[in-house]
Chains A and B, each alone.
Chain A
Amino acid sequence: MLITDELVTYLEALGRIKLPEESRAKAQSDLQEILQYIDTLSELDTEGIEPMSHALPLTNVMREDIVQPSVSPEEVLLNAPEQKNNYFLVPRSFE
């Protein structure tokens, strides 16, 4: 698997990040090296093995649907970088 400049741009877009111009080349070669190592996994025979997301046999945990106190809007907004009238403030997203 070759990490091309286009793929780096695509991954930046997926992750909503932008690498600083001066570290792009290094990031590309680091990702290439990491992926090359990760590719050793393809040697492992996994035929017929069920993928496992949790090691412990946990199933969906249910609880009664009871109304419980939640945090207040004031508390929710305590860490907001910008707010107005008890709402999060964001730049205009529709013209």
Chain B
Amino acid sequence: MNLECMTALELGAAIKKGEISAVEAAKFSLGQIDKYDKKLSCFVTVQDNVLARAEEVQKKIASGEYTSPLAGVPMGIKDNMCQKGIQTSCGSRMLYNFKPTYDATAVEEIMNAGAVPLGKLNMDEFAMGSTSETSWFGVTKNPWNTECVPGGSSGGSAAAVAAGECFYALGSDTGGSIRQPASFCGVTGIKPTYGSVSRFGLVAYASSLDQIGPLASNATDCAAVLAEIMKHDSRDNTSVATKGINLDAVMNMEVKGMKIGIPTDFFGEGLDSGVASCIESAAKQLEAMGAQIEKFDMPIVKYAIPAYYIIASAEASSNLSRYDGIKYGYRAENAGDLLELYTKSRSEGFGMEVKRRIMLGCFVLSSGYYDAYYRKALQAKALIKSAFDKAFEKYDLILGPVAPTTALKIGENLSDPLKMYLGDVYTVMINLAGLPAASVPCGFDLNGMPVGMHLIGNYFDEEKILGAAHAYQQVTDWHKRRPTGLDII
């Protein structure tokens, strides 16, 4: 049985039928990690109990306890989700030794579905970054070209799925952190509606924007994962009870008759021509499948990045004040008094990008500047939401690029933070509005790097987004392409 080309659902079905065991599947994935991860550095931690867990899962599938179509499938978890007893570092020296005493709800739910977690996946420090270069544990490489970044902050999650080291992964998305690496690595990823997946046990970056979601090799795998983790949780006060995901509804969705809007403002200055032409071809493909495509104006786009970086930094500066070198995490040595202990631990524990955002957040919240920056950004957020509300009165879905470029070379943007922030132009507004959106592979640029299209839906329209993506993936094979150079690197 050739596991290399299998999707998570195909593998889950084969395990259920007894054609392959969960243990054999786990051994295969561990072998893949052995083969590729020295070069790619997707994993920060590989768990040492993978085979024991796989054996346990196999027994519980046999006994009928695990009935999920994903039971027994090996997967990975972004290193900002708490898993009991497993180092959860968030890509930071600050949490280099942190072993949670409980599971995040999303982890708990996926374990209840019979997941076999392989380990924790690399990310930008505290999810702050768009390249996975700011991790204390080193840079993850893009499997399509190891001189390029995988995107971020869920770069380890996207690269591991693209390289076939795991069959799906959990990521998190505050300003594009699932969708942008999915686009850069040629995999499918979705950020669901804010509140639909519990944030309990997710290390907080910007709590009003953070959302957990899946990355996988196609839309139906993403739907299957979402179906398991989209559940109401009383431990997260922003958790929303949704109707959940129906896999059949996703698989039977037709694009015919859908109205899809394309914001003209997404095609302005800064967009690579290679990316633009892939998105235009995807629009034509959807039109050929019976969708009605229409362009419309959305001039608020240009204010999304300023509003996002104000709000996200403000929340980050508050959320990260918990790291004091006392309760858990990194503690500096030789601190004379309490204040010095805080300052030294935080200065040595946090990297430059985290420090930058803490300072920016302190600035926009400080007295005298609060109204001009923070309050203003919350007003911009209201305007962004109403622009989308208006668009969804007319359209079923909104289509555009995920990122203005394909994966950049390692180091290209690291010393120029503003340039890195500008790459988030299309993704951050979705988080500000709290909407669901996916990245779906739709072509390659001239250098052979993958391009993702952005499918944005109205609140709780995850089925519609993934249904349209599935229909698209029935007639295209971009999502089936795999990096070819991996075995010779």
Residues of A within 8 A of B (CB): 1, 7-8, 10-12, 14-20, 23, 27, 30-31, 33-35, 37-42, 44, 46, 49-56, 58, 60-61, 63, 71, 75-76, 78-82, 88, 90-93
Lowest 8 A-B CB distances belong to which pairs?
A: A55-B434, A51-B378, A79-B328, A81-B331, A52-B382, A46-B379, A14-B362, A41-B306
**Contact A80-B327, Cβ < 8 Å, known A17-B350, A41-B310:** yes
**Chain A binder among B97-105, B285-293, B467-475:** B97-105
CA distance A76 to B328 in the complex (A): 9
Residues of B within 8 A of A18 (CB): 343-344, 347
- A54-B194, A93-B338 provided; 11 other pairs, C-beta below 8 A? A17-B343, A27-B356, A34-B356, A37-B421, A52-B381, A56-B240, A61-B237, A81-B330, A88-B326, A91-B336, A91-B337
Residue of B nearest to A95 (CB): B337
CB-based contact B363/A42 at 8 Å = no
B338 x A41 contact (CB < 8 A)? no
List 6 interface pairs A-B (beta carbons < 8 Å), by A numbering: A34-B418, A41-B307, A49-B379, A56-B240, A56-B434, A58-B237
Distance of B425 from chain A, by nearest CB (Å): 12
Q: Mark B338-358, 1 if CB is under 8 A from A, else 0.
A: 111111101100101001101
For A75, what are the chain B residues with a Cβ–Cβ distance below 8 Å? 101
- Do A52 and B378 contact each other (CB < 8 Å), given the known contacts A30-B418, A93-B338? yes
Which residue of chain B has its CB nearest to the CB of A74?
B101
Contact A79/B310 with A46-B379, A49-B379 known, Cβ cut-off 8 Å: no
Q: A27-B355, A55-B432, A71-B102 are in contact. Are A42 and B372 (CB under 8 A)?
A: yes
Complex: chain B residue closest to A40, CB-CB = B306
Q: How far is the CA of A54 from the CA of B206 in the complex (A)?
A: 12
Any chain A CB within 8 A of the CB of B380? yes
Contacts of B378 in A (CB 8 A): 51-53
Contact B327 A88 (CB under 8 A): yes
B305 on the interface (CB 8 Å rule)? yes
Closest to A43 in B: B303
With contacts A34-B417, A49-B383, A92-B337 taken as known, whether A79 is within 8 angstroms of B347 at the C-beta atoms is no
Q: How far is the CA of A1 from the CA of B421 in the complex (A)?
A: 20
B379 cross-chain contacts in A, Cβ below 8 A: 44, 46, 49-52
B170 in contact (CB, < 8 A): no
* Max chain B C-beta neighbours (<10 A), residue from A27, A63, A71: A27
A19 CB → nearest B CB, Å: 6
User: A91, B195: Cβ atoms under 8 Å?
Assistant: no
Q: Which residue of B lies closest to A51 (CB)?
A: B378
B337 near A82 with CB under 8 A, answer no
Find chain B residues with CB under 8 A from A88 CB. 326-327
Cα–Cα distance between A76 and B373 once the two chains are bound (Å): 38
Would you list which residues of chain B between 290 and 314 have a CB under 8 Å from chain A?
Answer: 302-303, 305-307, 309-310
Q: Which residues of A have CB within 8 Å of B360?
A: 31, 34-35
In contact, A31 and B359 (Cβ under 8 angstroms):
yes
A41 engages B336 (CB within 8 Å) = no
Contacting pair A38 B306 (CB below 8 A): yes
Most-contacted residue by chain A among B240, B303, B330 (CB, 10 A): B303
Closest chain A CB from B150 CB (angstroms): 24
User: Using a CB-CB cutoff of 8 Å, which residues 426-471 of chain B contact chain A?
Assistant: 432-435, 459
A74 to chain B, nearest CB (A): 10
**Closest beta carbon of chain A to B313's beta carbon, Å:** 9
Q: Which B residue sits closest to A55, measured CB to CB?
A: B434
Which of A17, A37, A93 is close to B346, meaning CB atoms less than 8 Å apart? A17
Residues of B within 8 A of A81 (CB): 325-326, 328-331
Distance in Å: Cβ of A31 to nearest Cβ of chain B = 7
- Expressed in whole angstroms, the Cα–Cα distance for A58 and B196 within the complex equals 12
Known: A44-B380, A63-B234. A55 touches B194 (CB 8 A): yes
B305 and A37 contacting across the interface, CB-CB below 8 Å: yes
Q: Report chain B residues within 8 Å CB of A61.
A: 237
Closest B residue to A61 by beta carbon equals: B237
Residue of B with least CB distance to A20 = B347
Known: A15-B317, A15-B355, A56-B194. A38 touches B240 (CB 8 A): no
Closest Cβ–Cβ distance, residue B302 to chain A (whole Å): 7
Question: Which listed residue (B302, B347, B417) contacts A30, Cβ 8 A?
Answer: B417
- A79–B337 CB distance below 8 A: no
Q: Is there contact, CB below 8 Å, between A79 and B98?
A: yes
With a cutoff of 8 Å between Cβ atoms, the chain B residues found around residue A39 in the complex are 306
Closest chain B residue to A41, Cβ basis:
B306
Interfacial chain A residues near B352, Cβ < 8 Å: 23, 27
Q: With a CB–CB cut-off of 8 A, which chain B residues contact A58?
A: 195, 237-238, 240
- Interface residue B376 (Cβ < 8 Å from any Cβ of A): yes
Contact residues in A for B98 (Cβ distance below 8 Å): 79
With known contacts A75-B101, A81-B325, A91–B306 Cβ distance under 8 A? no
Nearest A residue (CB) for B434: A55
For residue B231, CB closer than 8 A to chain A, the reply is no
Chain A residues near B355 (CB, 8 Å)? 15, 17, 19, 27
In this complex, which of A35, A38, A42, A93 has the most chain B Cβ atoms within 10 angstroms of its Cβ? A38
Q: A37-B305, A91-B341 are in contact. Are A56 and B328 (CB under 8 A)?
A: no
B375 touches A (CB below 8 Å): yes
Contacts of B362 in A (CB 8 A): 11, 14-15
- CB-CB < 8 A to A44: which residues of B? 303, 376, 379-380, 383
